[in-house]
Amino acid sequence: QRIDSSYSWVYQLKGDITAQLGRHHQLEAGISLRLQDLFVYTGTWFQSQLSYTPDTWEYYDATPLEIGVYAQDKLEFEGMTLNAGLRLDYLNPMKMGYQTEFPLSEEYRKLYADIYSNLPGGAGTYERWLAFRDLMADPPGWPTAENRVQVYLSPRLGVAFPITEASKMYFNYGHFYQRPAGSFMYNTQLNLGSVAVPPPDLDMARTVSYEFGYEQMILNDFIVNVVAYYKDVQGEPLTR
């Protein structure tokens, strides 16, 4: 069974500008700001009776801020079109993390084993869950780390070579960054024998992409596109 009263609000602002400079240069730049108001409150249990133990519920709130800025130049010459640009990605989790260097603090274990077990109400009751839930935003004794901001600069490159009026060869290369899902960054998973500490400073996943292709127009109505590509993905978190 499952109960879910989560919600997510996203506030987003985007702006772009394009300018033609002479015959050969078309400059483009833009910025995007994205602020997410994320609240997760959900429980899943398998027995027929409603349970309020920490291992069956997710409860957290966060407001991660993402900013993207890019600039590119499109150069057009006889026999070649070149797109070259840079993108800056900024991520602020807006929340302190926790110190997880070895040896780990004993305070992590105590949250469930000692603190939860001695809260008012019986085990698995709503009364005890409410008392425990109020501790989740700032678990007592957990050693905190500073809020860590991430900034990455990504190159982008695209080249096209017309062969005839109806065909061309092209090559694209770029780095791309993506923010981890909120459940990886903010959710604390607790069991009697273990705890998964949320890392708000979890690195953004990076993808390096290469693409080489050939495009052919047939009878002015059809396009045949043959593409070979390679992607190297790093830092993508494992499914919990």
pLDDT at 239: 60
pLDDT at 213: 94
pLDDT at 57: 85
Q: Name, in order, each residue with C-beta under 8 angstroms of 130's C-beta and a sequence gap of 6 or more.
A: none
Rounded to the nearest 5 degrees, what angle is found at the Cα of 192, between the Cα atoms of 239 and 189?
A: 30
Structure tokens that stand for 83 in this block: 């797109």
Mean pLDDT per 10-residue interval, the chain, length 240 residues: 88 96 91 96 74 84 96 90 96 91 83 84 85 86 91 96 88 95 88 82 94 89 90 80
Q: Name, in order, each residue with C-beta under 8 angstroms of 153's C-beta and a sequence gap of 6 or more.
A: 86, 87, 88
Question: What is the C-alpha to C-alpha distance for residues 97 and 220, in angstroms, rounded to an integer?
Answer: 58
- Burial readout 147-185 (b: 16 or more C-beta within 10 A, e: otherwise): ebebeeebebebebeeeeeeebebebebbbbebbebbbb
pLDDT at 16: 96
pLDDT at 46: 67
Q: Are 188 and 196 in contact (CB under 8 A)?
A: yes
